[in-house]
Every structure is written in C-alpha cells, then in structure tokens.
Amino acid sequence: MSLEQLGITVLWIFLYGYLIVASIDFGAGFYAYYSRVIGIESIISPVISRYLSPVWEVTNVFLVFFFVGIVGFFPETAYYYGTALLIPGSIALVLLAIRGSFYAFANYGAKKNNLYLLAYGSTGLLIPASLSTVFTISEGGFLSISGNTVSLLMQELFFSAYSWAVVLLAVSSVLFISSTFLTYYAGRAEDSRALEWLRSFALWGAVPTIISSLFVFIALRNHNREHFQNTLEVWWMFGLSLISFVIAIWLVWRRKNYGTAFIMVMLQFAFAFFGYGISHLPYLLYPYLTISSSITNPVMGRALVISFVAGLVLLIPALVLLLRLFLFNAKYVKGEPS
C-alpha cells in the first residue's frame, strides 16, 4: 500500500468513526425534542439523557482528527476546499456551537424551555446536512476555478438533484443509526415502554434510509458517470451493506438481539461508506485533485501516519473505557445509584 493510500485509509477510518458516534448523538438530540412534541418525553427521555450525558462532548474528536489530517496529508485540499466550503463550513461551525450551548441550557438550566430543546434537536439534523456538502462538492461540477480563484457555484449546488439526495441520505442515516442504537440501549436498561417507542422509530427510519440510498445512486449516475461506473466494480460491498441492513431490520422486527442488530447497522454503513470511498479514488475532488498529486512529502506523510495511528491506539481504549464506565455499566444504564 502506497503512502497516499495508507493516509486516506487512516483518515477514512476516523471519518467513519465520526459518522457512527455523531449520528447517535445528533439523532438522540432530535428524538429528545420529538418526544416532548408528541408527549412521550417521560418515557424515552431518561434513556436518551443517560446516553447523552457522558458522550456529547467527545463526538467531535473524530472530526477534528479528520480535518487536521486531510490538510496534513493532502495540503492542496486547503486551497480547493478552503474557499469553496467557507459558507457551508461556517454554517456547520455555528450550528455546532449552538448545539453545544443549547444542550447545556436545556439540561442544566431551564429544562422545560422548548426553544432550547428545539435548537438542540434541530441542529442535530442541520449539521449533517451542512457537512454532507463536502461529499457533494467532491463529485465535481460545483466549483468555478479561474486562475488562483476558487468559487462555489451556489445555484448549481442548491438546484442539484444529487446534492439533495446526499442531504436526504445524511439526515435519514442519522435518525436510523441513532434509533437502532437507542433501541439496543433501552433493551439494556430493561425499559420496555421506551424500547417499544424507539424500536418503532428504528423500523420507520429504515424506509427513508433505503429509499434515499437508491436516490443517491440514481442521482450519481446522472451527475458523475465515471464514479457511478466505479461503484459497479465494487458492487459486492454495497451488496453486503444491503444484506447487513436486512438482517438488522429483521432482528429489530422480531425483537431479537438488539445489540447484534446495531452491529449489523454499523456493518451496513461501513460497507457502504468504504465502498463509496474506494470507488471515488483516486480523486479527492473530481476532476482537479487526486491523492497522488496532492500528497505531502514522504517524511511528513510517514510522521502523520504514525501520529494518527497512535491517536487511534489512544482514542479507541479511551472510548471503550467510557463505554464500560457509563454506557454499559448495568446500574448506570438502568438509572440506579452506583
């Protein structure tokens, strides 16, 4: 494996970690608000709060690693994406700041203030929608490059079918991943009422997820035929993703092994996410930027690989410890005093 392939693989692992952890967090925030709207806050909010309390501050660690790494490994991405993502990137940063602030207000201040919880829940859907812009732009056709000036074509981006397909997939994926995890979490807590509600959210969330996935493939075929052809070469990865999805839904439907169901969901998105990444290679930004043309010098590249692998070695045990101390501690999950 070449240095550039190793670098992008390490970065993709971090981004996948963010996809899963952040999706659970974002979706949980939305369900916390939705439960208040439909009058079931007392049923599912205790489960959601026990999950959010220890983890809401650590979700962005993966994202920070990724953005630092992408600029470190591939410096030219800062030139192409820096200006292009100024607007959507700024929106995402503002939403992240609002989300963190209003989580504190909603949970440690005026708990019954609907505005605080609305801001917290809505940003959980708006943030992935804004961040998904990166994947849309990477397919080409949304940038105007003239000399040293890179401009984002906002009109083309806004009216692109592919752009909206990616946004719909991002939002539906967040809700589906989160609901399947929270279903498992409610099962661990032996909270039957919360379990039934969250299970229904997971089953209903599966429908827009699979539809938006098909919509993305159709829109990609019309927008970037070369990338679409590459996806057909790794069709087996998307096939395994679909099989994992079916197994997960079957287990949730039959009320069996919710933990295994969530593992299947993780595999579903792992196969699809890495299949997408492989089929997108060698481009970081079609057709201007490839991993081989933008890789940093070998000495810096090897140093970054070592640093990021060391970061994974430290981060994963820390997350496992967090899970053992809080999320999977039998008394904590059930809300019992330790």
Rounded to an integer, what distance in angstroms lies between the CA atom of residue 194 and that of residue 47? 8
Lowest-confidence region among 87-101, 107-121, 162-176: 107-121
End-to-end Cα distance, the chain: 48
pLDDT digits (tens, 9 = 90+) for 41-94: 778 877 777 666 555 566 777 777 777 778 888 887 877 777 777 777 778 778
Reduce the DSSP state of residue 270 to 3 states and report it.
Answer: helix
Token digits for 286? 């079609």
Token digits for 138? 């990477």
Can you tell me the mean pLDDT for 13-22? 87
pTM score of the predicted model: 0.88
Rounded to an integer, what distance in angstroms lies between the CA atom of residue 203 and that of residue 220? 27
Average pLDDT over all residues of the chain: 82
pLDDT digits (tens, 9 = 90+) for 263-285: 999 999 999 999 999 999 888 88
pLDDT digits (tens, 9 = 90+) for 194-219: 889 999 999 999 999 999 999 999 99
At what angle are helices 258-280 and 225-233 packed, to 10 degrees? 130
Q: What is the identity of the amino acid at 11?
A: L
As separate numbers, helices (DSSP H) first and strands (DSSP E) second, the chain gives 16, 4
Looking at per-residue pLDDT, the higher value among 121 and 330 belongs to 121
Q: What is the identity of the amino acid at 197?
A: W
258 sits in which H/E element: helix 258-280
The domain spans of the chain are 3-333
pLDDT digits (tens, 9 = 90+) for 282-307: 888 888 888 877 777 777 777 877 88
